[in-house]
Amino acid sequence: MLNKNIVKLAIPLAVGALALTGCSGDSGSGGDGAYKIAFQGPLSGDNVALGENMQNGIELAIEQANAKGDLDFKLEYVAADDQGLPDKATAAAQKVIDDESVVAVVGPAFSGPTNTSSPLYAEAGLVTVSPSATNPNLTDPKNGFKSFLRGVPNDSMQGAGMATYYAKKLQAKKVYLIDDKTDYGVGLASVAEKGLKDAGIEVVRKAVPQKTPDYSATAKDVVNSKADALIYAGYYQDLAPFAKKLKDAGYKGAGISGDGSNDAKFVELAGDASENWFLTCPCTDATVEAGTKKFAEDYQKKFNRAPGTYSAEAYDITNMIIEQVKGLKGDVQREALRDALAKASYKGLTKTFSFDENGEFKGTDVYLYQVKSGKIEYQGNINELVG
Amino acid sequence: MSLQEFWDYLVLGVMLGSLYAVIAIGYTLVYGVLQLINFAHSEVFMLGAYGSLIVLQLVDPGDNPSALASIGFVALAMAGSALFGGMTAYGLEKVAYRPLRRRGAPRLIFLITAIGASFFLYNLAGKLFGRDPLPLPEMYDNHEVFSVFGAGVNITQLLQFATAVVMMIALDLVVNRTKLGKGIRAVAQDAEVAGLMGVDIDKVISRTFVIGGVLGGVAGFLFANLNQVSYTMGFIPGITAFAAAVVGGIGNIRGAMAGGILIGIVETMTVPLLGDEWRSVSAMVVLILVLMFRPTGILGQRVGRAA
C-alpha cells in the first residue's frame, strides 16, 4: 500500500522538481538556514485557551531543540491564527504556505478549519499533523487531503467511549444528546448516537447552535425529557452557560462532554455547575502520567501554568517533526518531509505516533476525566474503567 | 407539550423577552428622535456587561456573601453597567454622529458610521479585555423563590424580569411626564420646529442616547449574569432586539416592549416545538409576517405621537 502511494507521489514530485530546476528550486529551507514549524489554530476568538495550550507545547519543543545545540540549523515558530473558524482557515493556511521556510504545520487544531484548509496544504505539499482535529471524515481518502496526518484517535473512539461508559458504568436508560452544529460536534455526536443505540439506550438527539443567547429553554427541555444522562458535543464556551442553566433547571442526571470542553476554562466559567461533569479526551493528563512529569515541570516553569489539553501531544508532534527534519540532513523539501512523516513512527511522551495509509492515527485510547471540587481530575483509560 | 410545560416555557420566554425589550428600547429611542438605526447599540450592551464585571472584580464578592451584601453587590454591578453603557452611548453620539449631523450628512452615511463604530468597539473590547469569555462572579446564592402557574422562578430570573419592568416603567414616565420627555417627544415630532421653539436639540439628542445607553448597559449586565461576558456577546441579542423594535413599530417605546416580549416568547417556545436551531428563524419569520401585514409594526407610531 505504501509503495503504491510513493509511486503515485513520485511522479508529480519528479515533474515538479524538473519544473523547478530553473528557479531557485528550494521550497523548503529559508535563506539563513532556519526552518520554521507553524501552528494553525485558535489564537484569538472564542476558544482561544485550546489553541494556546498547543502553541505553548510547540514553542517549548522548539526552544528545547534549539537549546540542545546538536542541530546544524535553527528552528523557528510561526503562528497562524484561524480563530477556530472554517471561514478564517484558508487565509491562515495561505499565510503559512506562502512563507517558504515553513517545512511543517502542527494543526489545524479544529476539525472545521482542517476541512477547509487541507486542500490548500495538499496542493502545496506542506505536511500538517494535527494533535486535536478529531472528526472521523477528515482522513477519508475521497477528500484528497494528502498532506493531513492525524496525531490523535478520532471521534469514533471518543464517541464510542462515551457510549460505552454510559451503557456499562452508569447504566443510563435515556440519553439526551446535543451537538453544537460544528463539524467537530456533529461528528462526535453521530458516533456517540450510534454507540448508544447499539447498546439499546434510548437517545434524544438535538442540535443547539454555538452562541445561543439563552440556554434556559434548552435546559428545561432536557429536564422535561426525563433523560437520566446528557452528552454535549461541543466546546467549553457554550457548555459553561448551558451547564449553569441545567443546574438552575434542577437537572440531576449525569453529564458528559468531549475534548472541546476539557479545559480549566470550563470550570472557571461554569463555577459550581461544572461539578461532577465527565469529560473525555484522547489526551492524557500531562501532570499525572509518569512519562510527562518532566515535561509538565518544564512547561510550568516557562509559562507559569500547568499544561492543558493537548499541550503534551503538540509537544510530541513537534519533536516528531524535528526528528524527521534532522533525518533529511539539510535538504528539507516539503514533499519529502511529508512522505517521511507519513511513514514514521515516533515514541513520544504521551503515546506512539504512527499513521495508516490515509494519515489516520494508529491507536484507540480514550481517557476519562471528571470535574471534582472545582478541578478536572484524571480518571484513566475508559476501556480499563469499564472493565 | 403538556399544559405545565407550556407555562414553563411561557415564563422563560417572558423573562428573555423582557431583556430583549430593554435593548430594543435603545434602538427605538434613537430612531424616534434621529431616524437613525444605531447599530452600535449592541456594543453599548456588550460594554455594559464589561462595566459590571470590572466593578465586581474591584469589590470582589468572594464566597457566599450575606443577603444584604448580595443586594449591595448587585446594585454596584448594575450601577457599573449603567455607567459604562451610558458613557459609551454618549461618546458614540459625540464622536460618531454629532459631527455628521452638523454637516448635514445624508442618512446612509449615519448607517455606515454606526456599523463602523460597532466593529471598532467590539474589536477594541476584544483587545482590551481579552478574547476569552469571562464569568461574572457569583453575587448571591441562586435558588427558586416562587412559582408562576407551577413554573419555578429563581433569583436570577426574578432580578432580570423585575429590573426590566422597573426600567421600562421609569422610562415611560420620563418620556410622558417630565420636561426632558417633552423635549424628546418634540424633537421626535419635528426637530426643526422644536429648535425654533427653544428646545436645545443637541442636548436632547445627547440625553436620549445616554438613556438608551443606560438601559442597554444594564441589560448587558443582566444578560452576562445569566450567561457570561465576552466581546462578541452583543451581536446576536442586538440583532434580535432590533428585530423586536421593528416588530413593535420602530420609534415607539411601548411597541419595543411588546415586540421584545413577543420575540422572547416565540424564540423560547420554538425550542421544545422545533428545536434550538430554529429559534432565530422563527423570530425572523415573526418579523417578516408582521411587516407583511402591518409595515409600521404592531404599534407603529413615532415616539412623538405615542403618548
Per-residue pLDDT reduced to its tens digit, A68-127: 988 888 999 999 999 999 999 999 999 999 999 999 999 999 999 999 999 999 999 999
Tell me how far apart the alpha carbons of residues A235 and B125 are, in angstroms, rounded to a whole number: 22
- Does B160 contact chain A (CB < 8 Å)? no
Mean pLDDT (chain A, rounded): 89
Q: pLDDT (tens digit, 9 = 90+) per residue, A38-64?
A: 999 999 877 888 899 999 999 999 999
Which residues in chain A touch residue B268, judged by CB atoms under 8 angstroms apart? 214, 216-217
Neighboring chain A residues of B133 at a CB cutoff of 8 Å: 46, 237, 240, 269
* B136: closest chain A residue by CA: A269
Its pTM stands at: 0.84
A99 touching B (Cβ < 8 Å): no
Which stretches in chain B have pLDDT values below 50?
Answer: 306-307
- Give residue-wise pLDDT tens across range A118-133: 999 999 999 999 999 9
Phi, psi of A372, deg, nearest 5: -135, 130
Contact flag B271-A217 (C-beta cutoff 8 Å): yes
| Distance of alpha carbon A172 from alpha carbon A193, whole angstroms | 13
A48 interfacial to chain B (CB closer than 8 Å): yes
Contact list in A for residue B132 (CB cut-off 8 A) is 46, 48-49, 265
Question: Among partner residues A45, A248, A269, which is closest to B154 by beta-carbon distance?
Answer: A248
Using CA atoms, how far residue B39 sits from B26, B44, B85, B240, in Å, is: 10, 10, 14, 12
Q: Does A269 reach chain B within 8 Å, measured CB to CB? A: yes
What are the chain B neighbours of A245 within 8 Å (beta carbons)? Answer: 226
Residues of B in contact with A248 (CB under 8 A): 142, 154, 156
Angle of CA points A207, A217, B152, to nearest 5°: 155
Kindly list the distances between the CA atom of residue B221 and the CA atoms of A3, A21, B26, B47, B217, in Å, as whole numbers in the listed order: 62, 63, 15, 9, 7
**pLDDT tens digits for range A160-188:** 899 989 988 889 999 999 999 998 899 99
Nearest CA-CA distance, residue B201 and chain A, Å: 37
B130-183 per-position pLDDT tens digit: 888 999 998 998 888 988 888 889 999 999 999 999 999 999 999 999 999 999
Listed residue (B82, B22, B15) closest to B52, CA to CA: B82
B window 29-58, beta carbon within 8 A of A? none
Query: Does the structure show a pLDDT above 50 at A1?
Result: no
- The runs of H, that is alpha helices, within chain A are 2-20, 48-68, 86-98, 111-124, 155-164, 183-198, 216-224, 236-248, 264-270, 293-303, 311-327, 334-343, 382-386
pLDDT tens for residues A287-336? 888 889 999 999 999 999 999 889 999 999 999 999 999 998 878 899 99
pLDDT of residue A26: 42
